[in-house]
Chain A
Amino acid sequence: MTPVSESLRAAAGTQRVPVFRARGVSKVYDMGEVKVHALKAVDLDLFQGELLVLLGASGSGKSTLLNILGGLDVPTSGTVVYRDHDLSAADERELTRYRREHVGFVFQFYNLIPSLTARENVELVTDIARAPMPATQALDLVGLADRMDHFPAQLSGGEQQRVAIARAVAKRPDVLLCDEPTGALDLETGKRVLAVLEQVNREVGTTIAIITHNAAIGALGDRVIRMSSGVIVEHVRNERRASLDEIQW
């Protein structure tokens, strides 16, 4: 085990059982003439109900790591285990079922279906989930009860991202993976979106991993992991999670 993973364990606390265990995870993209090493033997544990912030510059490998944790991609080597699911050995059908049953995604550019209203975008997920909350409840949770029949083009960026969060949490996922959820938003709107994520983590108990290159957001998490060039270079366990009023960027 690398020194980083040891420090991670110490930072996370040894008494808790991780929901995710990633060991020696590497990802190499074969681009024909060149091979891109996006992840290099990364170790990571993620715990139940935790809010983890992944910091790093563009190209540091944080999105690749998130995609592998979310079952959108598979590692070139190493193992990723979610509870009793070995994601690194899973085939496409198992990964699809894993994503359907356990994971919610929030993307930087919202990725709402433009031809569906806010409510229908959420229903797109609740239609196939096992025990979802009603779409109206999910939208109410993010403060958009009065905007649910609007199409994405009729919503502001912040509202679209909140719809995306409602869509992700409506299926009551075990883990919510957010890739730059505030990346396309201004400060105030970004804070509203983060407030919703913090609320979901606190009230629903969903494990959340947030990718950002905004270091200020790290203060909101239980733990902060910093990545650079495909490796984890720093683990920090916050003594306490800061409130949104305390952070600025």
Chain B
Amino acid sequence: MRALNRKLLRDAWKHRGQMLSIAAVVSVGIMTVLTMRGAYESLSSSQAQYYRDTRFPDVWVRLERAPESLRGRIAAIPGVSAVNTRVTLVATLDVPSVDVPALGYFVSVTDDRGATLSDLHLSAGRFVSPRRRDEVVVSDKFAIANAFVPGDTLRAVINGRQRDLQIVGTAISPEYTYAVPPGAIYPDDQRFGIVWMHRDALGPAYDMAGAFNEVVLTLSPRADTARVVAQLDRLLEPYGGLGAYTRMDQPSHFILAGELNQVRSMGTMIPAVFLTVAAFLLNIVLGRMIATQRTEVAVLKAFGYSDLEVGRHYLQFALVAVLLGALIGIAMGSWLGQSMVGLYGEFFTFPTLRYEFSWILAVLAVGVSALAAAAGALGAVRRAVALPPAEAMRPEPPTSFRPGVFERLGLGRLLPVAGRLILRNVERTPCAASPRPSASAFRSRSWSSGCSCSTACNT
């Protein structure tokens, strides 16, 4: 190992307190990137995969009632790729484990699952049989919250008639990744669930045989969404259409997209704050270190080390802090990222949701941290490099002081020497002195060496 690198390691060890403090700040920045951005990447990739696999619709519209024959006209709207009509309704459920009536959002399903938009992902049991009018599949979280398993019976009041329904399976749907009861903002899995029932059973039960009251559709890649929505609204207006809406207004997607945006923002903002603090600290610490190593800088230069080599040596202090912070940050970020994604899994249901550690993200986070640290260190390093060796060899000249306004007015004599010392320091560096003028007298020694104050001001 080169002697200069040994110096680096020993100096870093000597300043281990400061180095660890900076590394801790850097590690929080990197940890936040890996936790937040990692969670964002995991969630958004799971979401994209889920939407793709289950053919998540682009447009929804509810209406009073329309004949099934209208389906062809909807499909004929330019830009529409696939259309599903269905029957949906809210019904009261009698859940034994809940004192008050629960609500079930009933959604019709058909056998042609290959063409179904928002296809179900079965977690347990099986799909409903077209030959059985009392079979249902219930949402996973509702089943878990109420300890329902396939084979249990669920009593519901549909269109004023009480019916005993056989639970044959539990499932999740991309439309209910985040399922909230009507009018609520938080999920209530015990008192609200999604119930999927065969169209042939649910239609007649709700007087919707041969009719539908909801349409979902996907659009072709270059479709004009606004135009499709307008045409759809015009077409369904006579049938009590309540206005088509796109993914951005679909409740579950809206909540999930909002959360993803928030996680992404936090994954950018929080690291930025911590890395700025780290850069500031590095500027201060390195500025002080270089001020104390003034003659060492001179010696290195005298023996032929170039400005680049001297600058690189001191920049490596910043990189040591970043490296240390990176090790802690990557370990912590990976662990917290898994925990965070696990936490999201409790609120959002995906068929597969797991934290995937991204080396690209880690390298990027460490790279940005290194750049921030280098930026923070650069000012201090530049001062070291700019010092001519002959000048650096001499003791630092005394800091320039002049009588301030107070003294020029002849009032200085009214103060004791210590008071004049405070006043001159405050007048010389008002920027650094202003937050805590009373402390300035006690810091005068370090100020007069011209390091901490000027560094703080410059920074």
Interface residues of A (CB under 8 A from B): 67, 70, 72-73, 92-93, 96-97, 99-101, 103-105, 107, 109, 111, 113, 115-116, 120-121, 123-125, 127-129, 167, 171
The answer to whether B304 and A105 touch across the interface, beta carbons within 8 angstroms, is no
Q: In the complex, what's the smallest C-beta–C-beta distance from B13 to chain A, in angstroms?
A: 9
A-B CB proximity, top 7 nearest: A100-B304, A115-B10, A73-B390, A123-B3, A72-B390, A124-B3, A67-B390
Q: In the complex, what's the smallest C-beta–C-beta distance from A33 to chain B, in angstroms?
A: 10
The answer to whether B3 and A116 touch across the interface, beta carbons within 8 angstroms, is yes
Listed by A's residue number, 21 A-B pairs whose Cβ atoms lie within 8 Å are A67-B393, A72-B388, A72-B389, A72-B393, A92-B307, A96-B307, A97-B304, A100-B304, A103-B304, A104-B303, A111-B299, A113-B296, A115-B7, A115-B10, A116-B7, A124-B3, A124-B4, A125-B304, A128-B305, A167-B303, A171-B303
Known contacts A73-B388, A113-B296; is-contact A107 B4 (Cβ 8 Å) = no
- For A109, list chain B residues within 8 Å (CB): 295
Task: Choose from A115, A116, A120, A125 the contact partner of B303 (Cβ within 8 Å).
Answer: A125
Q: Which residue of B lies closest to A67 (CB)?
A: B390
Starting from the known contacts A107-B299, A120-B7, A129-B304, 13 additional A-B residue pairs (CB-CB under 8 Å) come to: A67-B390, A72-B301, A100-B303, A100-B304, A103-B304, A107-B393, A111-B298, A113-B296, A124-B300, A124-B303, A127-B3, A127-B4, A128-B303
- For B300, list chain A residues within 8 Å (CB): 124
Q: Does B445 contact A (CB under 8 A)?
A: no
- For B413, list chain A residues within 8 Å (CB): none
Q: In the complex, what's the smallest C-beta–C-beta distance from B316 to chain A, in angstroms?
A: 14
Q: Does B273 contact A (CB under 8 A)?
A: no
- For B305, list chain A residues within 8 Å (CB): 96, 100, 128
The answer to whether B390 and A96 touch across the interface, beta carbons within 8 angstroms, is no
Q: Does B436 contact A (CB under 8 A)?
A: no
Interface size on B, residues (CB 8 A): 25
Q: Does B306 contact A (CB under 8 A)?
A: yes
Known contacts A92-B307, A115-B11, A115-B14; is-contact A70 B6 (Cβ 8 Å) = no
**Bound Cα distance from A113 to B2, whole angstroms:** 14
Q: Does B431 contact A (CB under 8 A)?
A: no
The answer to whether A120 and B390 touch across the interface, beta carbons within 8 angstroms, is no
- For A67, list chain B residues within 8 Å (CB): 390, 393
**Bound Cα distance from A107 to B296, whole angstroms:** 12
Q: Which residue of B lies closest to A109 (CB)?
A: B295
Q: Does B144 contact A (CB under 8 A)?
A: no
**Bound Cα distance from A167 to B298, whole angstroms:** 15
Q: Which residue of A lies closest to B309 (CB)?
A: A128
Q: Which residue of B lies closest to A66 (CB)?
A: B390
Mark B288-299 against chain A: 1 for CB-CB distance below 8 A, else 0.
Answer: 000000011011
Chain B binding surface, main DSSP class:
helix
- For A99, list chain B residues within 8 Å (CB): 301-304
The answer to whether A101 and B304 touch across the interface, beta carbons within 8 angstroms, is yes
Interface residues of B (CB under 8 A from A): 2-4, 6-7, 10-11, 14, 295-296, 298-307, 309, 388-390, 393
The answer to whether B301 and A96 touch across the interface, beta carbons within 8 angstroms, is yes
- For A107, list chain B residues within 8 Å (CB): 299, 393
The answer to whether B6 and A116 touch across the interface, beta carbons within 8 angstroms, is yes
**Bound Cα distance from A110 to B144, whole angstroms:** 77
**Bound Cα distance from A101 to B303, whole angstroms:** 9
Known contacts A67-B390, A115-B14, A116-B7; is-contact A105 B302 (Cβ 8 Å) = yes
Q: In the complex, what's the smallest C-beta–C-beta distance from A69 to chain B, in angstroms?
A: 11
The answer to whether B6 and A96 touch across the interface, beta carbons within 8 angstroms, is no
User: Which of B298, B304, B390 counts the most A-chain CB atoms under 10 A from its CB?
Assistant: B304
- For B303, list chain A residues within 8 Å (CB): 99-100, 104-105, 124-125, 128, 167, 171
Q: In the complex, what's the smallest C-beta–C-beta distance from A90 to chain B, in angstroms?
A: 13
Q: In the complex, what's the smallest C-beta–C-beta distance from B387 to chain A, in angstroms?
A: 11
**Bound Cα distance from A111 to B305, whole angstroms:** 15
- For B309, list chain A residues within 8 Å (CB): 128
**Bound Cα distance from A123 to B2, whole angstroms:** 8
Q: Which residue of A lies closest to B14 (CB)?
A: A115
Q: In the complex, what's the smallest C-beta–C-beta distance from B205 to chain A, in angstroms?
A: 84
Q: Which residue of A lies closest to B5 (CB)?
A: A127
Q: In the complex, what's the smallest C-beta–C-beta distance from B141 to chain A, in angstroms?
A: 61
Known contacts A92-B307, A96-B306, A97-B304; is-contact A113 B388 (Cβ 8 Å) = no
**Bound Cα distance from A125 to B301, whole angstroms:** 11
**Bound Cα distance from A167 to B303, whole angstroms:** 9
The answer to whether A96 and B304 touch across the interface, beta carbons within 8 angstroms, is yes
The answer to whether B388 and A70 touch across the interface, beta carbons within 8 angstroms, is no
- For B390, list chain A residues within 8 Å (CB): 67, 72-73
- For B306, list chain A residues within 8 Å (CB): 93, 96
The answer to whether A127 and B2 touch across the interface, beta carbons within 8 angstroms, is yes
